[in-house]
């Protein structure tokens, strides 16, 4: 089948030019495990490779759409999935390196390629003949004799088309395109306004007395901001999070904290220079219209139709269930902070601009831990080996370093991953250090994803981070947070390496499921049993003292009533905005207040993002009616990890179940069903309440 399609592709290809000669993307990779021959790939190879890849895939898709034979799962759904091999091959390399090892030339190609990509995707999703075949199969899905994975694949493929509007008539399609464009323009404008409003607020300080309480690093940053903005010799504070939070935490000047807080909270409000309230209403109305056009009741239903949560009711249920214990805890914390205010001899009632400041005082007194004292115990390579050891104890996996496999940078380490029985699983690349060609942050990605649809393809995955190198006799050392990040990304890598899907499309995950499997791995990082294996002082070999671990754990529970209430109120507000109808007369601020009154938010805590600067909800697509997802993955991972805590950290039966119920199926099954199969029941909140200290 694939060969026949490829044959059809040939007449459509651009004529060969010299630029295409010796293009490694057009050759079969005979490297170990088919790893990309990085040293042979040059910038000039990408564009011709993409051009040929799009043409080949276009020909494959046309052949499927125009196939005179009646549609079958094999000749339509599976055939679509088998296509695009060259596109996967070149995308795998290109989209990894644009993040981890880029240059100006690649960035220039990138914008060109991304325009080509969206044209290609649109041409496919709006191919009427193709959709008719997919739809014909979907309408009789129960009588096709499909197995569970094929049913999921048919559902997924059909939904890709219908969410793009493939089943609308021409007039409705045009309206949809207009709405998409409108929403995208409005959300960009919203984000720009947030940025402008954030930059517009400045608090200039020219007397040292006004810096009272601030640590040196905060003062230095404020001096350099003032210098940058043309007021050398003064200090300037802005409403960016990195200026706002330290000021609120450390400043002993209550009047200035109030000023700062009010400036921060007023960004984008009605009547201000960067008023975002009109845009909020326009965005909500356009989203509502689009949802209805596509057959959904509201934007939240549209967003969640292919997410793990499935329906807004489920998100409300989650958020409401955690709200009550969080609010109760926050009220206890409020009382504690108020007592501290009195102890200091003041008689004022705690206000929102006091919370960070007094919380920091309590934290320092009770839980202070010196980051620098912990670092010598977390040697980068040992932490990495600790993650390997975890996979070994869970599933018997082993990691064998290869120094003879080509990489894209000398810092990249390559490991073959083997099963307990010695069979080969996949390739793991570790790229841990920062460099100018790499963007910030930490992530996991694939150069090649696992599939079985057209012969066995083994995965090639990479973890990318930016941990400082060592110097002199000191090896690279990690903070406790960094160690946790390494385990987290390694969890993504395990999830990608253990994939057992047939169809490539099912490698992609429900958006609100992605972080759950990786987050489970953070649990093992700080288990005393694992720390004894890998957290040893680089000079003395002494294991990280348990007292430090206990202190870290206690600190992680501190002020969680506040953090949870601040977050959940925003998550609830996001869901409320996207499930309720508004009108032209709606007053955004009054509406926001009524939503927050409805849940009983206390006056001393302000919602984490007020509506006019809630970028997650109004400044982009993914997090609208999706801000809940941070909490959701934490709920699931805490609940899942609790099974290991209860039945044995390396209980082989539980480990095997994690693999078969959660990691291997990836997107091939309903994620809620997968979780419940692993856990033996629906999710509960006990574990997260415990982890956040919200139980007592
Ligand atoms: Zn992650």
* CA distances to 184, 301, 312, 693 from 309, in Å: 24, 10, 7, 25
**Can you give 82-122 as a three-state secondary structure string?**
HCCHHHHHHHHHHHHHHHHCCCHHHHHHHHHHHHHHHHHHH
Model pLDDT, residue 549 = 86
* CA distances to 400, 471, 635 from 521, in Å: 21, 29, 14
The alpha carbon of 581 and the centre of ligand 1 are apart by a number of angstroms equal to 34
Query: pLDDT per residue over 574-586, tens digit each?
Result: 999 999 999 989 9
pTM listed for this prediction: 0.92
Provide the mean pLDDT of the chain. Answer: 94
Model pLDDT, residue 2 = 35
Is 501 inside any structural domain?
yes
Model pLDDT, residue 368 = 80
Structural domain count, the chain: 4
Residues 73 and 138 in one domain: yes
Residues 451 and 488 in one domain: yes
Query: pLDDT per residue over 129-141, tens digit each?
Result: 999 999 999 999 9
Is 526 inside any structural domain?
yes
Where a domain ends, among 492, 509, 539?
A: 539
Is 613 inside any structural domain?
yes
Is 492 inside any structural domain?
yes
Query: pLDDT per residue over 139-150, tens digit each?
Result: 999 999 999 999
Per annotation, catalytic residue among 489, 566, 592, 634 = 489
206 vs 696: which has the higher pLDDT = 206
- Residues 348 and 351: their CA atoms lie apart, in Å, by 9
Per-residue pLDDT band at 358 (split at 50, 70, 90): very high
Angle at 426 between CA 449 and CA 98, to 5 degrees: 50
- Residue 211, pLDDT > 50, answer yes
Per-residue pLDDT band at 621 (split at 50, 70, 90): very high
Per-residue pLDDT band at 19 (split at 50, 70, 90): low
The alpha carbon of 482 and the centre of ligand 1 are apart by a number of angstroms equal to 13
Is 36 inside any structural domain?
yes
Domain holding 142, by residue range, is: 2-164
Per-residue pLDDT band at 4 (split at 50, 70, 90): very low
Based on the residue annotation, tell me whether 175 is a catalytic residue of this protein.
no
The alpha carbon of 24 and the centre of ligand 1 are apart by a number of angstroms equal to 32
> Among 353-362, 448-457, 545-554, whose mean pLDDT is lowest?
545-554
Residues 355 and 392 in one domain: no
The predicted model gives 163-189 an average pLDDT of 96
Q: Is residue 10 exposed (0-12), middle (13-18) or buried (19+ Cβ within 10 Å)?
A: exposed
CATH number at residue 105: 1.10.1370.40
The predicted model gives 532-549 an average pLDDT of 93
The alpha carbon of 240 and the centre of ligand 1 are apart by a number of angstroms equal to 24
The predicted model gives 155-159 an average pLDDT of 98
Model pLDDT, residue 696 = 66
- Residue 20, pLDDT > 90, answer no
The alpha carbon of 488 and the centre of ligand 1 are apart by a number of angstroms equal to 6
Is 610 inside any structural domain?
yes
Model pLDDT, residue 556 = 86
Per-residue pLDDT band at 8 (split at 50, 70, 90): very low
Residues 625 and 673 in one domain: yes
Q: Which two tokens stand for residue 290?
A: 């689009």
Model pLDDT, residue 1 = 32
The alpha carbon of 485 and the centre of ligand 1 are apart by a number of angstroms equal to 8
The alpha carbon of 417 and the centre of ligand 1 are apart by a number of angstroms equal to 21
Could you tell me if 487 and 476 are in contact, meaning their C-beta atoms sit under 8 angstroms apart? no
The alpha carbon of 406 and the centre of ligand 1 are apart by a number of angstroms equal to 27
Is 111 inside any structural domain?
yes
Residues 50 and 113 in one domain: yes
Model pLDDT, residue 372 = 83
The predicted model gives 11-28 an average pLDDT of 67
- Percent of the chain surpassing pLDDT 90: 91
């Amino acid at each position: 089948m694939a060969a026949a399609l490829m044959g059809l592709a040939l007449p459509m290809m651009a004529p060969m030019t010299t630029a295409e000669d010796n293009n490694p993307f057009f050759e079969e990779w005979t490297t170990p495990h088919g790893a990309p021959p990085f040293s042979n790939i040059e910038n000039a190879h990408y564009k011709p490779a993409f051009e040929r890849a799009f043409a080949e895939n276009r020909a494959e898709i046309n052949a499927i759409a125009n196939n005179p034979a009646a549609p079958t799962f094999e000749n339509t759904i599976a055939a679509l999935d088998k296509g695009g091999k060259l596109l996967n091959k070149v995308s795998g390399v290109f989209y990894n390196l644009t993040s981890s090892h880029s240059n100006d030339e690649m960035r220039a190609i990138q914008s060109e390629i991304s325009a080509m990509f969206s044209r290609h995707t649109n041409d496919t999703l709006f191919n009427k003949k193709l959709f008719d075949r997919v739809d014909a199969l979907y309408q009789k899905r129960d009588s096709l004799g499909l197995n569970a994975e094929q049913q999921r694949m048919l559902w997924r493929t059909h939904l890709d088309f219908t969410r793009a509007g493939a089943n609308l008539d021409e007039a409705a399609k045009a309206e949809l395109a207009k709405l998409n464009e409108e929403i995208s323009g409005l959300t960009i404008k919203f984000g720009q306004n947030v940025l402008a409003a954030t930059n517009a607020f400045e608090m200039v300080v020219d007397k040292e007395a006004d810096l009272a309480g601030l640590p040196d690093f905060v003062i230095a940053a404020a001096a350099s901001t003032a210098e940058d903005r043309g007021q050398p010799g003064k200090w300037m504070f802005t409403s960016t999070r990195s200026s706002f939070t330290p000021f609120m935490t450390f400043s002993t000047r209550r009047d200035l904290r109030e000023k700062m807080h009010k400036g921060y909270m007023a960004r984008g409000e009605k009547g201000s220079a960067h008023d975002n309230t009109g845009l909020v209403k326009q965005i909500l109305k356009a989203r509502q219209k689009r949802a209805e056009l596509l057959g959904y009741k509201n934007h939240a239903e549209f967003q969640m139709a292919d997410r793990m949560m499935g329906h807004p009711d489920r998100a409300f249920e989650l958020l409401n269930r955690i709200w009550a214990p969080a609010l109760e805890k926050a009220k206890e914390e409020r009382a504690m902070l108020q007592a501290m205010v009195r102890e200091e001899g003041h008689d004022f009632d705690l206000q929102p601009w006091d919370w960070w400041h007094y919380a920091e005082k309590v934290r320092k007194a009770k839980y202070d831990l010196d980051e620098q004292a912990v670092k010598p115990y977390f040697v980068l390579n040992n932490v990495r080996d600790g993650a390997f050891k975890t996979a070994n104890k869970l599933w018997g996996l082993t990691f064998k370093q290869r120094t003879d496999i080509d990489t894209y940078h000398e810092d990249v380490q390559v490991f073959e991953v083997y099963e307990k029985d010695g069979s080969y699983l996949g390739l793991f690349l570790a790229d841990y250090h920062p460099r100018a060609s790499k963007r910030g942050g930490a992530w996991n990605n694939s150069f090649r994803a696992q599939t079985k649809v057209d012969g066995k393809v083994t995965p090639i995955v990479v973890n990318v981070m930016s941990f400082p190198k060592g110097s002199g006799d000191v090896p690279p050392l990690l903070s406790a947070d960094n160690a946790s990040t390494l385990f987290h990304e390694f969890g993504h890598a395990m999830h990608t390496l253990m994939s057992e899907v047939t169809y490539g499309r099912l490698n992609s995950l429900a958006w609100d499921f992605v972080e759950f499997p990786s987050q489970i791995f953070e649990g093992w990082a700080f288990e005393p049993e694992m720390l004894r294996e890998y957290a040893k002082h680089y000079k003395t070999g002494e294991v990280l003292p348990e007292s430090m671990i206990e202190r870290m754990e206690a600190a992680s529970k501190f002020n969680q009533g506040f953090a949870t209430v601040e977050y959940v109120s925003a998550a609830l507000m996001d869901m409320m905005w996207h499930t309720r109808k508004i009108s032209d007369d709606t007053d955004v601020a009054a509406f926001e207040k009524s939503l927050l009154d409805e849940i009983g938010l206390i006056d001393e805590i302000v919602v984490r993002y007020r509506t006019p600067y809630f970028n997650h909800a109004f400044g982009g697509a993914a997090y609208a009616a999706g801000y809940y997802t941070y909490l959701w993955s934490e709920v699931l991972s805490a609940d899942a990890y609790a099974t290991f805590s209860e039945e044995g950290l390396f209980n082989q039966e539980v480990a095997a179940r994690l693999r078969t119920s959660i990691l291997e199926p990836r997107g091939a099954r309903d994620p809620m069903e997968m979780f419940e199969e692993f856990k033996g029941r629906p999710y509960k909140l006990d574990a997260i309440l415990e982890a956040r200290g919200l139980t007592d």
